[in-house]
Chain A
Amino acid sequence: MNFVLALVFGAFFGFSLNKAGLTTYQKIVNVFRFTDMAVLKFMMTALVVAMSGLFALRGLGLLTFPNIPATYMVGNIVGGLIFGVGMALTGY
């Protein structure tokens, strides 16, 4: 049952990425060139919607949070720095 849900969520995830244009090289790279900010608009909208939804539902006692990604400052920042290189190179 959980796997069926995963398939459905994945399909909507992929669908929204495709419709926002994030499956193309130029969209990803152009955000780093400040010529097309669609990636940021998309990411931040998703963040704000999910954030308010999740915290509201938790406030109502309807859900509990899964494991929150661990914070280890150096690892997170260094990982992000290397990640950016790959992202600008491939556009994925």
Chain B
Amino acid sequence: MKFILNYIRKEEWSPYVAGILLGMVGVAAVWLSNSLLGASGAFENLAGMIGKAVAPAAFDNLYFNFIMPPGITWGLILLVGVFFGGMIGAATSGTLLWGKKGAANSDAQWKRIFGPQVWKRWVLAFIGAIILEYAAGIAGGCTSGLAISGGMLLAPAAFLFIMGMFASGILTALVIYRKRY
């Protein structure tokens, strides 16, 4: 018992242990809710809901009416849970940076590559997130919704996606890091 408690307080688990936990959550989600874990779709549901309220004409298309219907979905609630779950994880290991100075740009490696400015972190995160969400829309899911949740159902789409993701990820890292790669 003491061993388990101590392990929960550890900042970094073995990826295998954390992976087993996620795998079991994935099975439970299909079993009890008949839903797949995912992140990117929920943002589209939310965007659709806001869009329908602000500019109904622009959002009255095939995509937002049938493929990604707006509304408070299961995935959206899941994301709220992810937010708090991540916070609980950080809190149990004492690494929660909520409200602390420099929390927005706290990664040592990021600072070394791009610089210590906080605004840079925000700008790059914003641009990168647009790319991520757009790509997830094309592919039909993100790392969790397509690669992991699709992969555990042995969907071919998931493995094509993982291939593409790593190919361009490695190239992008090469371009950014160049000699430091």
Contact = CB atoms under 8 A, between A and B. Distances in A.
Contact of A82 (B135, B149, B154): B135
Interface in A12-66: 12-21, 23-26, 29-33, 38-39, 41-51, 53-54, 57, 62-66
Contacts of B132: 83, 86-87, 90, 92
A25 to B, nearest CB: 4
B34 to A, nearest CB: 5
B107 A89 contact: no
B138 interface: yes
Contacts of B171: 84
B26 interface: yes
Interface residues of B, number: 97
Nearest to B134: A82
Interface stretch (B43-51, B57-65, B73-81): B73-81
Contacts of B139: 75-76, 78-80, 83
A19 to B, nearest CB: 4
A14 B85 contact: yes
Contacts of B3: none
Interface residues of A, number: 73
Contacts of A68: 150, 153, 155
Contacts of A48: 23
A81 B166 CA distance: 8
Contacts of A87: 128, 132, 143, 165, 169, 172
B157 A63 contact: no
Contact of B33 (A9, A12, A91): A9
Interface of B: 10, 12-13, 15-37, 74-75, 77-90, 93, 107-110, 124-125, 127-132, 134-158, 160-173, 176-177, 181
CB-CB nearest 5 A-B residue pairs: A10-B81, A80-B164, A79-B139, A14-B85, A49-B23
